[in-house]
Amino acid sequence: MQNTDHSPRDGFGSKIGTIAAVAGSAVGLGNIWRFPYITGENGGAAFILVYVFIVLFIGIPVMLSEFTIGRRAQRNAFGAFRLLAPRRPWYLVGVMGIAAAFMILAFYSTVAGWTFEYLRLSLVNGFKGKSPEELNALFENFYTGGWRPVIWQVVVMLLTGGILLAGVRKGIEKYTKILMPMLLVLLVILAIRSITLPGAMQGLNFLFRPDFSKIDASTILEALGQAFFSMSIGMGTIITYGSYIRKKDRLSETAFSVAGADLAVALLAGIAILPAVFAFGIAPSEGPGLVFITLPNIFQHMPGGYFWALMFFTLLIIAALTSTISVMEVVVAFISEEFSLRRRYATIIATIGVTFLGVLCTLSQGPYPQFSLFGRNLFDLMNFSTANIMLPTGGLFIVIFVGWFLGRKNVRDEISNGGTMKVRLFNIFLFLVRFIAPLAIAMVFLNGLGILKL
Ligand code: PFF
């Protein structure tokens, strides 16, 4: 496929840098903040089993499909569909992705802002001597409390815009390569502390002893949404990043490595958080505040807790930023390529637009609950509708596009780097994207929304 854009395109410079950048996108608040509380709300171990299945049979095929589209087209998520399917409505998948990027950033930047406040609190030793109830109240008062969360959110958006101004290789790739491994090590340490707390056993049972009576249609939809959200798939982020991958790197290897890292971090976060939830008598179904209430409790029960807290929240901020930049990149690449605008202007426009929606989201959590629709405040609405509706819908069309439209030869050519490489599981991949993934997504989706009763 010819690249008609004559300016040389920025892109990732190495294999390891590519994996770090894509893993940087995937690993984020979705793993450490969202996964533990969604698991807590959905009954634990059985949910996790469903989740792992979805990652393997739906998540990885969708991710590889997105890589294929992006690298083949060398374009942003919208432009890629326009180029590969001229005069057909497939570009609408790109449009939905760009809308989802806005909506995700709106609430994600709120939570990323919370992590900044928690870093500040760790610095001033603000958790010290507080009971679990007091830590609970601390969180409630903060996030409902008006402008402070908004200020942190603006800080997040400015940092995200700032990194993006530096470009793909010198911005995205350079930072993610160092920071992701550090996060992993720290999580392992926290997980060990958590499972050795008195009373942690109940949490381990919750995580690893499946109770299948807890599984219903809505649980499976939550698992699907969580997998899409966590893997950054279904909205063109991976298409966009795929377009930056060198032609000689292996797409399937990248997809497997990233999916593995993403799953490992989510499970580790579950192991770090849920046993502590039980040990400190917090309800696992506490919701979005779970991590922010549990972790300060753990830190108080660790030698050197002050230090660990500082480190943890710093890394959480980094994990969040390596994800926010990837979501924002979807918008920036779209604006700059489709409207032939300088990257700098595209970044400024995207940052302003997203911040506006984001501030509304943050305020809907506290002083302005009237910012709501369909009985959910804006924050909850964006969180639920992107993960559980827009991303799976996007993913459905993406696998159908690759499985049925792009052409077997083209797909094989892209995944095998022009036939220079053996791709062992190609037929299985094709079977998954043609039949299993679309059917499974459609069924979970219709069933979960109550449109189809199984
Ligand atoms: N995968 C990120 C996380 O788990 O925190 C969030 C995210 C990034 C979702 C990029 C969607 C996306 F396109």
> Between 77-84 and 305-338, two packed helices, what is the crossing angle to 10 degrees?
40
Distance separating alpha carbons of residues 60 and 90, to the nearest angstrom: 21
**317 or 303, higher pLDDT:** 317
pLDDT in tens, 166-178: 766 676 677 777 7
- The pLDDT confidence band at residue 8, using thresholds 50, 70 and 90, is low
Q: Is the pLDDT of residue 367 over 80?
A: no
Q: What is the 3-state secondary structure (H, E, C) of 214-283?
A: HCCHHHHHHHHHHHHHHCCCCCCHHHHHHCCCCCCCCHHHHHHHHHHHHHHHHHHHHHHHHHHHHHCCCC
**415 or 177, higher pLDDT:** 415
State the distance from the centre of ligand 1 to the C-alpha of 26, rounded, in angstroms: 5
Q: What is the mean pLDDT of the chain?
A: 90
Helix, strand, coil share of the chain (percent; to 5): 75, 0, 25
| Helical spans, DSSP H, in 1-90 | 15-26, 29, 35-41, 45-54, 60-73, 77-84
Residue nearest to atom 12 of ligand 1 (CA): 232
Residue to mutate (ligand 1; options 104, 156, 231; most atoms within 8 A of CB): 104
Distance separating alpha carbons of residues 163 and 259, to the nearest angstrom: 24
State the distance from the centre of ligand 1 to the C-alpha of 197, rounded, in angstroms: 31
Closest ligand 1 atom number to CA of residue 236: 13
Closest ligand 1 atom number to CA of residue 231: 1
Going by C-alpha positions, the residue among 91, 75, 86, 60 that lies closest to residue 415 is 60
State the distance from the centre of ligand 1 to the C-alpha of 87, rounded, in angstroms: 30
Q: Is the pLDDT of residue 3 over 80?
A: no
- Residue 408's pLDDT is 95
Please, which residues bridge with residue 128 across strands? none
- Residue 157's pLDDT is 96
- Residue 108's pLDDT is 96
Closest ligand 1 atom number to CA of residue 31: 4
Residue nearest to atom 11 of ligand 1 (CA): 232
Distance separating alpha carbons of residues 232 and 237, to the nearest angstrom: 6
| CATH superfamily, domain at 15-448 | Hydantoin permease (1.10.4160.10)
State the distance from the centre of ligand 1 to the C-alpha of 133, rounded, in angstroms: 31
State the distance from the centre of ligand 1 to the C-alpha of 29, rounded, in angstroms: 8
Share of the chain above pLDDT 70, in %: 96
Which of 49-53, 126-130, 265-269, 284-288 has the least mean pLDDT? 284-288
Closest ligand 1 atom number to CA of residue 319: 5
User: What number is the average pLDDT over the span 334-363?
Assistant: 94
- Residue 369's pLDDT is 72
Contact 40, 275 (CB under 8 A): no
Residue to mutate (ligand 1; options 107, 237, 291, 383; most atoms within 8 A of CB): 237
pLDDT in tens, 30-74: 999 999 999 999 999 999 999 999 999 999 999 999 999 999 999
Map out the domains of the chain as residue ranges: 15-448
**289 or 240, higher pLDDT:** 240
- Residue 1's pLDDT is 37
pLDDT in tens, 102-140: 999 999 999 999 999 999 999 999 999 899 899 999 999
User: What number is the average pLDDT over the span 253-280?
Assistant: 93
The model carries a pTM of 0.93
Residue to mutate (ligand 1; options 37, 108, 317; most atoms within 8 A of CB): 108
pLDDT in tens, 188-241: 988 998 899 888 999 999 999 998 998 888 899 999 999 999 999 999 999 999
- Residue 6's pLDDT is 42
State the distance from the centre of ligand 1 to the C-alpha of 6, rounded, in angstroms: 31
- Residue 172's pLDDT is 66
Which residue reads 């009373």 in tokens?
199
Q: Is the pLDDT of residue 307 over 60?
A: yes
Residue to mutate (ligand 1; options 107, 230, 388; most atoms within 8 A of CB): 230
State the distance from the centre of ligand 1 to the C-alpha of 97, rounded, in angstroms: 12
- Residue 171's pLDDT is 63
State the distance from the centre of ligand 1 to the C-alpha of 387, rounded, in angstroms: 9
**405 or 302, higher pLDDT:** 405
In this structure, the residues whose C-beta lies within 6 A of any atom of ligand 1 are 25-26, 28-31, 104, 229-230, 232, 235, 237, 323, 326-327
State the distance from the centre of ligand 1 to the C-alpha of 420, rounded, in angstroms: 32
User: What number is the average pLDDT over the span 325-344?
Assistant: 94
